[in-house]
Chain A
Amino acid sequence: MSLTPKQIESIAHLARLELKPEEISAYAGSLGSILDMISQLEKADTGNLEPMAHPLEGQVQRLRADQATSGNERDLYQRNAPQVEAGLYLVPRVIE
């Protein structure tokens, strides 16, 4: 299966990745061969099987009560932020 440059650009846009022109052709090739490999799944007779939702039988994702369990760690967490001001994360202007 081959993907067109336009399809690769559209996937990259959905994934929010900027690609250089040479990357577009390279990914078209490698994603195409990955999809070819994946196409083996079509042959599998999965009949009425339910898709597997959890690796452990009968287990479901546990939920917790919607209650705050730790204090406000904003200052600590914002030490890793590229740009903050007065406790706010800064990004380029969105609304003109």
Chain B
Amino acid sequence: MDVTLAGLAAGLKARRFSSVELTREALARAEASQGALNTLISITAESALAAAAVADQRLARGEGGPLTGVPMIHKDIFCTAGVLTTCASRMLSNFVAPYDATVVAKLRAAGMVMVGKANMDEFAMGSSNETSYYGPVMNPWDLARVPGGSSGGSAAAVAARLAPLATATDTGGSIRQPAALCGVTGIKPTYGRVSRYGMIAFASSLDQAGVITITAEDAALALTAMAGFDPKDSTSVDAPVPDYAATLAAPLAGLKVGIVKEFFGEGLASEVEGPVREVLAVLTKLGAQVREVSLPSLPLSVPTYYVVAPAECSSNLARFDGVRYGYRCKDPKDLIDLYKRSRAEGFGAEVKRRIMTGTYVLSAGYYDAYYLKAQKVRALITADFRRAFGEVDLLLGPTSPTVAFGIGDKTSDPITMYLNDIYTIGANLAGLPALSMPCGFAGGLPVGVQLIGPHFGEARLLNAAHRYQQETDWHLKAPAGFKAGFAP
């Protein structure tokens, strides 16, 4: 079908259309959607058409792989040489990256055509895409609602069929939660699986790059190209990358799926719980065995995260000082004034809140009570996951406690906003791969189901998701008002 990455690649190969035609279509859609959705911070028409022409030459010579010539979007957290890279912050609103992130270089080498850079929460801090200096992103299923965050632009762009693939990053749920709220598929790989070189840092013990697509098959194709050891990232793991597409169709007979008891308690909307539970029937029909598992320390994920992530953010964002790059205030009276006003004017309210939270928990006299304690609780949560993966192959639960909420509904109370990530944070704390995919609708809005796997269990996650998507068509539903296919 000419809607997915795999479908478009087949169309290119069969010469039904060229990469230049496909890219023109993607650019036209990007331009046309901006007023309603605001998914993009930059549209890179000129370089996209040049890259598409090169891809067409490669394809004409019979070269190129499964990604060659297909348009895509990078989250604006990835450095792109010679292109504005803002992280959706005023602080970097003038920053032209001097080099490519490894993810950018790899997808370019695979022949993918970048048509633009996606809007996001500022420095990836947010769950609704409302903290962006470039304004909120609107959910294509209901323009009065948020797309989720922080990869809200990436998820909304794929949902609105601007491109079949967008890169994204996940520190506490920033790939999975917007994927759920926008009705698309998103995978956060194992910590260290994909290089973070050139990906602007938020919380270094949690951050991981991944991808948002329409299907699990497309995610498998992209992840195979993105993953792998990179000497430029000291957290990158030196382990071989399987061909994730090769095992997609493997049977699920005997697969042990654990329903996480703690994910189905108070706070979960019943309209979300229903469709998530229905996934079990499909997986059972495919031969999976379902049982309940308990991760008793999991409810402490949110408080643990809000010590660890702000602590690491306060240290990572110390580099933005108005001296070497980024925003500088007018007429600083001395060096301290330059630092303080450049940072005060360059960062938005939520970023400042997290920097201050982190500064406080790391300050003299509090380190043991907060940071060290949180890292011990993190060990407890990780041990819970390890125990669970002794009994089952995959864990299943909702991705988000509710469907997409209204723009402005949760901005006044940070704690209410933070609780959106209650089901997603655990995988980041334990470094586990996790995926969200569409599993139904509630009141016309998409519902997402989350699968969590053991370390380096991406192939099994994608396999289970692919088999589910062969039985259902939730993932192929497109919002009204946007074209369902891509082909020109």
A and B bind: yes
Determine if A92 and B376 form an interchain contact, defined as CB atoms under 8 angstroms apart. no
Q: Hey, which chain B residues are within 8 Å of A14, CB to CB? A: 359, 363
CA distance A53 to B375 in the complex (A): 7
CA distance A33 to B412 in the complex (A): 12
CA distance A61 to B235 in the complex (A): 6
CA distance A56 to B415 in the complex (A): 29
Determine if A52 and B297 form an interchain contact, defined as CB atoms under 8 angstroms apart. no
Determine if A15 and B376 form an interchain contact, defined as CB atoms under 8 angstroms apart. no
Determine if A59 and B192 form an interchain contact, defined as CB atoms under 8 angstroms apart. yes
Please judge, given known A-B contacts A40-B300, A64-B231, A79-B98, whether A31 and B360 are in contact too, CB under 8 Å.
yes
A45 shortest CB reach to chain B, Å: 8
Determine if B357 and A56 form an interchain contact, defined as CB atoms under 8 angstroms apart. no
A36-72 residues at the B interface, CB under 8 angstroms: 37-42, 44, 46, 49-56, 59, 61-64
Partner of A17 from the list B235, B332, B344 (CB cut-off 8 Å) is B344
Nearest B residue to A61 via CB reads: B234
Q: Hey, which chain A residues are within 8 Å of B295, CB to CB? A: none
User: Binary interface profile of A, 58-96, with partner B (CB < 8 Å = 1, else 0)?
Assistant: 010111100000000100110111110000010111100
CA distance A12 to B333 in the complex (A): 19
CA distance A92 to B336 in the complex (A): 9
Please judge, given known A-B contacts A15-B356, A31-B357, A38-B370, whether A92 and B338 are in contact too, CB under 8 Å.
yes
Chain A, interface SS category: loop
B335 within 8 A of A: yes
CA distance A77 to B323 in the complex (A): 12
Determine if B321 and A55 form an interchain contact, defined as CB atoms under 8 angstroms apart. no
Max chain A Cβ within 10 angstroms of own Cβ: one of B339, B356, B380: B356
Determine if A91 and B338 form an interchain contact, defined as CB atoms under 8 angstroms apart. yes
A81 shortest CB reach to chain B, Å: 6
Determine if A56 and B307 form an interchain contact, defined as CB atoms under 8 angstroms apart. no
Partner of A41 from the list B300, B336, B337, B338 (CB cut-off 8 Å) is B300
Determine if A79 and B96 form an interchain contact, defined as CB atoms under 8 angstroms apart. yes
Determine if B380 and A92 form an interchain contact, defined as CB atoms under 8 angstroms apart. no
Determine if B340 and A41 form an interchain contact, defined as CB atoms under 8 angstroms apart. no
Please judge, given known A-B contacts A16-B336, A82-B323, whether A76 and B98 are in contact too, CB under 8 Å.
yes
B198 shortest CB reach to chain A, Å: 14
Determine if A11 and B377 form an interchain contact, defined as CB atoms under 8 angstroms apart. no
Please judge, given known A-B contacts A41-B300, A56-B192, A61-B235, whether A34 and B94 are in contact too, CB under 8 Å.
no
CA distance A77 to B206 in the complex (A): 28
Please judge, given known A-B contacts A30-B414, A31-B360, A33-B415, whether A44 and B380 are in contact too, CB under 8 Å.
yes
CA distance A19 to B158 in the complex (A): 38
A43 shortest CB reach to chain B, Å: 8
CA distance A40 to B347 in the complex (A): 29
Nearest B residue to A77 via CB reads: B98
Determine if A37 and B231 form an interchain contact, defined as CB atoms under 8 angstroms apart. no
Nearest A residue to B358 via CB reads: A15
CA distance A64 to B341 in the complex (A): 36
Q: Hey, which chain A residues are within 8 Å of B95, CB to CB? A: 80
Determine if A44 and B378 form an interchain contact, defined as CB atoms under 8 angstroms apart. no
Determine if A16 and B340 form an interchain contact, defined as CB atoms under 8 angstroms apart. yes
Determine if B338 and A62 form an interchain contact, defined as CB atoms under 8 angstroms apart. no
Q: Hey, which chain B residues are within 8 Å of A82, CB to CB? A: 322-323, 325-326, 328
B413-433 residues at the A interface, CB under 8 angstroms: 413-415, 418, 429-431
Q: Hey, which chain A residues are within 8 Å of B334, CB to CB? A: 92-94
B436 within 8 A of A: no
Partner of A52 from the list B235, B361, B379 (CB cut-off 8 Å) is B379
B191 within 8 A of A: yes
B355 within 8 A of A: yes
B455 within 8 A of A: yes
Determine if A80 and B431 form an interchain contact, defined as CB atoms under 8 angstroms apart. no
Determine if A59 and B376 form an interchain contact, defined as CB atoms under 8 angstroms apart. no
A13 shortest CB reach to chain B, Å: 8
A-B contact pairs, 8 of them (CB 8 A): A13-B340, A18-B341, A37-B418, A41-B300, A52-B375, A61-B235, A77-B325, A91-B338
A-B complex: 10 closest residue pairs judged by Cβ atoms:
A55-B431, A51-B375, A80-B325, A82-B328, A46-B376, A18-B340, A18-B344, A52-B379, A55-B191, A15-B359
Known: A17-B347, A55-B192, A81-B325. 12 other contacts (CB 8 A): A16-B339, A18-B337, A30-B414, A31-B360, A35-B357, A38-B370, A42-B373, A55-B205, A64-B234, A92-B332, A92-B334, A92-B337
